[in-house]
Structure 1
Amino acid sequence: MVTFSFGERYRIQLFGESHGECVGVVVDGCPPGLDIIENDIQTELDRRRPGKSKLASSRKESDRIRIHSGVLDGRTTGAPITMTIANRDVDSSWYDRTKHIMRPGHADYTARVKYNGHNDHRGGGTFSGRMTAGLVMAGSIAKIILEEEGIELLAHTVRIGKVAVDSVIPNEMIRKHVYSNSVRCADINLVSEMEEQVMKASQNGDSVGGLVECRISGVPIGLGEPFFDSIESVMSHAMFSIPGVKGIEFGSGFDSASMKGSEHNDPAEIINGEVAWTKNDAGGIIGGITNGAEVEFKVAFKPTPTISKPQNTIDMQQMQEIELSARGRHDPCIVPRAVPVVECLAAIVMVDFLRRCN
């Protein structure tokens, strides 16, 4: 079964392809009467839009949102909301010439086998990062819902290549700096080093990966279920739907494997009659359920697989081993443009959990 949908009570369904007519999303489960300002959604889309930086794909798309249903006179009606952006700056010529050649690191081979060769090969088709525009559109509405509940999401780049943030960045610094630079890093002292990592890789026909951190504050206690519908389980499910994601960790994550229990356990205290935590190695989640602390997680992105450096692969039509220098317009590092995607997808997950509880 092919599925492009996610969620239970706040449900989204993606449609479109990278080089098709459009990319879009249907959102089902949005409450009626919510004020929707198109500019708010457009702002989020512009944050992930290609062609805005020398570090990003040269593909030029305006990504102007169109709302086709579910909103009337600036308010949601309670019906499913359908939104699209058009694909205009499309060049499929290289993909047509090489449709039988499997690009290393891409889903070309697995998609060819799974769909018996009927998959859209142009620009990666439905496996393209362009599909994340639908996540951003749906997530921007989710963020509006969360804002009314006093819940804030902040995502930022904490690693590109070998350059990493090595200290805790205050939330205020993230709000102030994350969209003021091309790498979406809140530590402005590391911006030039991160940019250099990307530029050097690009000049060498290569690419780099990195890490995006997301924080969610104002989360009520008690969201999530034990085992299969824990906050970690569902959030991980969502994050791995973003093309290029290879890992996720909550709180101290993989570092907890080398810690003692006395180091990892978060002590509790009482402040103004309320339970609070003196630190947050749990990442705001215990037993799969939110504990009232800030939900914190990091998402790892692999280097962009489309690179011009020669790589060995296979021509499936000729069944021959060949060398490929990939072309096409791509990002030498997808991490900066992934920041708003992580934030918006996390918002979708949180709204879904809130609506389950209500």
Structure 2
Amino acid sequence: MSGNTLGKLFCVSNFGESHGPAIGAVVDGCPPGLPLSEADIQAELDRRRPGTSRHVTQRKEPDTVEILSGVYNGITTGTPIGLLIRNTDARSKDYSNIEDTFRPGHADYAYWRKYAHRDPRGGGRSSARLTAPTVAAGAIAKKWLAQTFGVQIRGYMSQLGEIPIPFVNWEMVGQNPFFAPNAGIVPELEAYMDQLRRDGDSIGARIEVVAEKVPAGWGEPIYDRLDADIAHAMMGLNAVKGVSIGAGFDAVAQRGSEHGDEITPEGFVGNNAGGVLGGVSSGQPLTVSLAIKPTSSIRVMRRSVNRANEPVEVQTLGRHDPCVGIRATPIAEALLAVVLMDHALRHRAQCG
């Protein structure tokens, strides 16, 4: 009931705080027999890792993963897989000035009202640092889905602030720090981010995630719809303020004759549904779009209150991403993988 576990048959429980000794996840429900090593997981963590370019937080965390259980002789045993990532570069003194105040846009005030206690160091439990265990768990799901069904999950940034990023090809996504599918626009994105850092401000982004070769039939009607579970998982990613499947909000301006994807003997004519019909996968590519809000930790002075409800001005120091969306792509991929693996196992359990 505490909201730290995602999934029903493939369950991922996330633990830790931004400046605690370690963060991690317990992955329960992974079938036995999957070849799995720390290197499999590390490759995904390195894509999300901080300090990889001047455009993201300069916190220098190696994010080295340790498999504590659930794997023997390089093979999953079917028992819970314990994953640990140690925090090695926390600078808690950067947050000493906000222990009794609330940063605008952050979870500080809401956490204080809920728990009457909070860890102010780096945001504690609400920090994007806690997405690393999600990526680690998602690496397991990605490998199982690819090995079992040939499912491929990829993502990219389609917009940075007010700059749209036209899609050119997938090969370019891994060749720049923005996960942009367009090499020609990278210099403009870099100049934009450099100015943003000089201003001490932040910006949002839009991320697209695509899962291909998803078999038809995964999902449930009504409450456990595949698209509903995807939206639920994606809203668990820090800074996500909007999730759309397929045409999403563009469907508002479409007529039924345009939006409803016609079916021919050769397959669907379009994919406005985003690969989900009635909460169940259609066999088409599953397309998800995320709106990421601007980072709340900025150096611009902002009005707020302290715990005594007195007016104060807050400036957030420390090392922060001017755009958290830059590192969000591998996290969104991981969340989609976790949901799809959970539904794959649920489908197998019900329908054989």
Q: In the alignment, which residue of structure 1 is the partner of 2:4?
A: 4
SS of 1:313's equivalent in the other structure is strand
Gaps of 5+ in 2: none
Deviations 1:205-255 (A, max 9, x none): 100111110011111111111221111110000001011000011111101
Alpha carbons 1:153, 1:215 under 8 Å: kept: yes
Amino acid at match of 1:352: D
| Residue 309 of structure 1, aligned match among 280, 300, 315 | 300
Q: Kindly report which structure 2 residues correspond to 1:198-209, keeping only aligned pairs within 5 A, or say none.
A: 198-209=193-204
Alpha carbons 1:23, 1:87 under 8 Å: kept: yes
1:344 corresponds to 2:319: no
1:321 corresponds to 2:321: no
Identical pairs, percent: 39
1:217 corresponds to 2:217: no
Q: In the alignment, which residue of structure 2 is the partner of 1:333?
A: 323
Using the alignment, how far apart are the partners of 1:77 and 1:314 within structure 2?
A: 51
Q: Kindly report which structure 2 residues correspond to 1:268-279, keeping only aligned pairs within 5 A, or say none.
A: 268-271=263-266, 276-279=267-270
Q: In the alignment, which residue of structure 2 is the partner of 1:186?
A: 181
Per the TM alignment, residue 50 of structure 1 is displaced from its structure 2 partner at its CA by 0.4
Q: In the alignment, which residue of structure 2 is the partner of 1:291?
A: 282
Amino acid at match of 1:357: H
Q: Kindly report which structure 2 residues correspond to 1:145-164, keeping only aligned pairs within 5 A, or say none.
A: 145-148=144-147, 149-164=149-164
Gaps of 5+ in 1: none
Alpha carbons 1:163, 1:190 under 8 Å: kept: no
Deviations 1:10-47 (A, max 9, x none): 00100110000101000000011110122121010011
Q: Kindly report which structure 2 residues correspond to 1:45-56, keeping only aligned pairs within 5 A, or say none.
A: 45-56=45-56
SS of 2:159's equivalent in the other structure is strand
SS of 2:344's equivalent in the other structure is helix
Q: In the alignment, which residue of structure 1 is the partner of 2:26?
A: 26
SS of 2:12's equivalent in the other structure is strand
Alpha carbons 2:205, 2:326 under 8 Å: kept: no
Alpha carbons 2:19, 2:87 under 8 Å: kept: yes
Using the alignment, how far apart are the partners of 1:227 and 1:255 within structure 2?
A: 23
Using the alignment, how far apart are the partners of 2:263 and 2:185 within structure 1?
A: 34
Q: In the alignment, which residue of structure 1 is the partner of 2:120?
A: 121
Per the TM alignment, residue 147 of structure 1 is displaced from its structure 2 partner at its CA by 0.6
Alpha carbons 1:70, 1:82 under 8 Å: kept: yes
- Report how many aligned residue pairs link the two structures: 347
Alpha carbons 1:230, 1:287 under 8 Å: kept: yes
Q: In the alignment, which residue of structure 2 is the partner of 1:112?
A: 112
Using the alignment, how far apart are the partners of 1:247 and 1:98 within structure 2?
A: 28
SS of 2:61's equivalent in the other structure is coil
Amino acid at match of 2:322: P
Using the alignment, how far apart are the partners of 2:259 and 2:97 within structure 1?
A: 54
Using the alignment, how far apart are the partners of 1:130 and 1:8 within structure 2?
A: 24
Using the alignment, how far apart are the partners of 1:8 and 1:195 within structure 2?
A: 41
